[in-house]
Amino acid sequence: MSPKISLTRYLIEKQRGRQDVADAPGAIPPQLRLLLEVVARACKSISLAVTKGALGGVLGAADSENVQGEIQKKLDIIANEVLIEANEWGGHLAAMASEEMEGIYVVPNRYPQGEYLLMFDPLDGSSNIDVNVSIGTIFSVLLKPEGAAVSEQDFLQAGHQQVAAGYCIYGPQTTLVLTVGDGVAMFTLDREQGSFILTQENVQIPPDTQEFAINMSNMRHWAPPVKRYIAECLEGADGPRGKNFNMRWIASMVADVHRILTRGGVFMYPWDQREPGKPGKLRLMYEANPMGWLVEQAGGAASTGTERILDIQPTQLHQRVSVVLGSRNEVAHMTSYYEREA
């Protein structure tokens, strides 16, 4: 039986890199290895809190709103605090940014500052917490630009500049999914040992699919290309697509993306006319960029409908974006409807 590879061993071997190839892709610096191990440890703590549910008194809403104007769940706040407290003292970060905090969190002067920036959605899919459906933590890592004191401007880097990204899904299993730029690996939490164990490497998304994920209740608000694409999927084998489609919508991006990384599919949260001034619902910096990079690293595609998500130059920390991601041939087919409309 092949030996179990822990996340620690995986990252140490990544840090060692390939001795025969200088600057081999995927070789990671020690500080980045430390950062990823600390984030993984924080996710284990969050998983424990999530698993307790009502027994831990952590369900239900807190009496506060986040920067998005959304009612915060108690676990949103707990998860955010766990990530801040786990990462602020290690010396690997200059600052953090979170869906749950308006401004950036600069590492306090009492701790050494590092060269990385960490962004996260501490608990994505919060509406599912109280009904026991999978939720997760999404994170993205950037290098702090050289020079002056860290500022919010330092975070405003395009998604293709990420140095690491991943998520931890709290479902029937607690699974950490990670990329450092040379493919996607999955680690399942062995609760008896308390370690994340490598369970899949070089994850590949099937290029074609017959499964789409979108919130159908918004259909009347969609732009014409989305209406046409979904209508043709629903026409099935008798329609222009010549095949039947299945639909899934978990209302937890982490869970929908995990399904797509595991068996393919296309996930969509497009612009709609409910709030025409907003480009979409999902956030660029700590939802679409990390998930988009993971999907691309697994052979998929991630678009706004009209441009590659990872090429967007951010202007605001909490800016939103339209998202179409998943099996690359299906994403290309879907985005072709926008081109025809142009």
What is the binding site for ligand P6P (CB under 6 A)?
Answer: 124-127, 215, 251-253, 269, 281-282
Residue 300 Cβ vs ligand P6P, minimum distance, rounded to whole Å: 16
**Which residues, in sequence order, are CB contacts of 113 under 8 Å at separation 6+?**
91, 93, 94, 107, 150
| 176 vs 214 by CB, closer to ligand P6P | 214
Min dist. Cβ of residue 122 to ligand P6P (A): 12
- If the CB atoms of residues 70 and 339 are measured against ligand P6P, the closer one turns out to be 70
| Closest distance of CB 90 from ligand P6P, Å | 28
For ligand P6P, the closer of residues 114 and 300 by Cβ is: 300
Long-range pairs, 239-243, Cβ under 8 A, ≥24: 243/210
Nearer to ligand P6P, 73 or 144 (CB): 73
Name the minimum Å distance from CB 279 to ligand P6P. Answer: 14
CB of 113 to ligand P6P, least distance (A): 31
Q: Which of residues 27 and 168 has its CB atom nearest to ligand P6P in the complex?
A: 168
Q: Which residue is nearest to ligand P6P (CB)?
A: 253
